[in-house]
């Protein structure tokens, strides 16, 4: 039985890690930290865990060694604590943005401040198993990926990797629910303001762009034109991406490329139906699941390929992917604890 600690367990990502790991047959949560909620039951913050979990939050100062440590701290916090936390676990899985980028120069460029522990950057594996399964198996330091980055990258990777695109350029429009903004109330997330909104919160300059460029650089960095829009949803991401196929590449070739990469992946589903109302990926049916659903359609009037990818930002976009990576790192069956199939209707 793997012993697990969750640092920063009162936030949404930490809560989701708790939910998943509580039912994980190969892992046991032995500690969960929250500075502001220390001493309270975790179900006081995560009401779905009532009668599921008798754990109380502890302060980070009371943390003791365990096998796997999930860091669910606010961005900027893990890089300041990594030296101190390193010795607490055999495997560290950081779900913040602090160790996602390999190039230290990307931090001032995209996050507006230098990295405070750049020596760790090359030790971390970008922890999407579909991309770096081998490295995750060997790694002690695993970083999660941005939710919009994960959706974009998983949707596009086979096309870039298999070199079927006419240009190494992509336009990505990401639509995302409110939970991606975290658990701290602001006017921007106040229900009367946020409800029903279609808010262009980051038409340019979104930080996840850096991850997408990094992970789609097969040979050379692609040009990524990224925009993000907040929509009415609590959970869920849908990215709509536009690329151009090389002459002669048809939909059946695209199918082959996706099958080659994802044919045996347990959490990737190609969704492309001729009929019905769920012809393409739909994030709402993925709430609570670790799936990333991917679909595509070639424009019959040209060589444009539109790629749609969907996932739950808190699961495959955060905690679920982290557990999947933990399973890989610890030699457990990769889907352990991640079997929830999602609801319909919902």
Nearer to its own copies, 84 or 200 (CB): 200
Q: In what order do the strands lie in the sheet with 237-244?
A: 199-202, 223-230, 169-176, 237-244, 304-311, 292-298, 268-270
Q: Is 38 in the site for its own copies (CB under 8 A)?
A: no
- Measure the CA–CA gap between 223 and 10, rounded to whole angstroms: 37
Question: From the list 238, 292, 329, 338, which residue makes contact with its own copies (rule: CB under 8 A)?
Answer: 238
Give the residue among 86, 221, 206, 207 at the shortest CA–CA distance from 142: 86
Packing angle, helices 147-161 and 208-215, rounded to 10:
20
Peptide bond into 345 cis (omega under 30): yes
- Under the binding rule (CB under 8 A), the answer on residue 74 touching its own copies is no
CB of 119 to its own copies, least distance (A): 28
Question: Could you tell me the smallest distance in angstroms from the CB atom of residue 196 to its own copies?
Answer: 5
Q: Tell me which residues in 135-154 interact with its own copies (CB under 8 A).
A: none
Of 118, 137, 269, 330, the residue at the interface with its own copies (CB under 8 A) is 269
Question: Does 50 interact with its own copies (rule: CB under 8 A)?
Answer: yes
Q: Which of residues 179-198 bind its own copies (CB under 8 A)?
A: 179, 181, 183-198
What are the C-alpha distances in Å from 317 to residues 125, 151, 281, 322, 342? 16, 7, 15, 9, 15
Give the 3-state secondary structure of residue 31. Answer: strand
Nearer to its own copies, 138 or 277 (CB): 277
Residue numbers 292-311 binding its own copies by CB under 8 A: 295, 297-302, 304, 306, 308, 310
Q: Which of 39, 74, 108, 341 binds its own copies (CB under 8 A)?
A: 341
Residue 311 sits at φ, ψ, to 5 deg, of -165, 175
Our answer to whether residue 53 is catalytic in this structure is no
Residues labelled catalytic: 147
């Amino acid at each position: 039985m793997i012993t697990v600690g969750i640092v920063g367990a009162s936030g949404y990502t930490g809560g989701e890690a708790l939910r998943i790991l509580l039912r994980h047959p190969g892992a046991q949560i032995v500690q969960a930290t929250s500075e502001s909620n220390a001493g309270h039951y975790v179900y006081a913050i995560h009401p779905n865990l009532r009668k599921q979990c008798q754990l109380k939050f502890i302060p980070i100062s009371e943390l003791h060694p365990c096998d796997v440590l999930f860091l669910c701290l606010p961005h900027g916090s893990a890089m300041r604590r990594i030296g101190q936390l390193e010795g607490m676990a055999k495997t560290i899985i950081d779900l913040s943005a602090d160790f996602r980028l390999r190039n230290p120069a990307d931090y001032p460029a995209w996050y507006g401040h230098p990295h405070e522990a750049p020596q760790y950057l090359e030790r971390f594996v970008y922890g999407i198993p579909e991309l770096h399964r081998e490295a995750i198996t060997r790694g002690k330091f695993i970083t999660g990926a941005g939710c919009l980055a994960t959706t974009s990258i998983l949707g596009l990777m086979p096309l870039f990797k298999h070199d079927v695109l006419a240009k190494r350029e992509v336009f990505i429009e990401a639509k995302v629910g409110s939970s991606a903004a975290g658990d701290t109330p602001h006017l921007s997330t106040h229900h009367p303001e946020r409800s029903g909104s279609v808010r262009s919160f980051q038409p340019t300059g979104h930080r996840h762009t850096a991850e997408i460029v990094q992970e789609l650089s097969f040979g050379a960095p692609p040009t990524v034109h990224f925009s993000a829009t907040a929509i009415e949803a609590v959970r869920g991401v849908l990215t709509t991406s536009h690329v151009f196929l090389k002459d002669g590449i048809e939909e059946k070739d695209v199918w082959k490329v996706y099958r080659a990469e994802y044919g045996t992946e347990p959490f990737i589903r190609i969704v492309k139906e001729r009929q019905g109302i769920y012809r393409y990926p739909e994030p709402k049916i993925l709430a609570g699941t670790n799936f990333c659903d991917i679909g595509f359609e070639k424009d019959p009037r040209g060589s444009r390929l539109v790629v749609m990818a969907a996932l739950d930002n808190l699961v495959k976009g955060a905690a679920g992917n982290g557990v999947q990576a933990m399973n890989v790192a610890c030699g457990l069956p990769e889907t352990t604890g991640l079997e929830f199939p999602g609801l319909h209707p919902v």
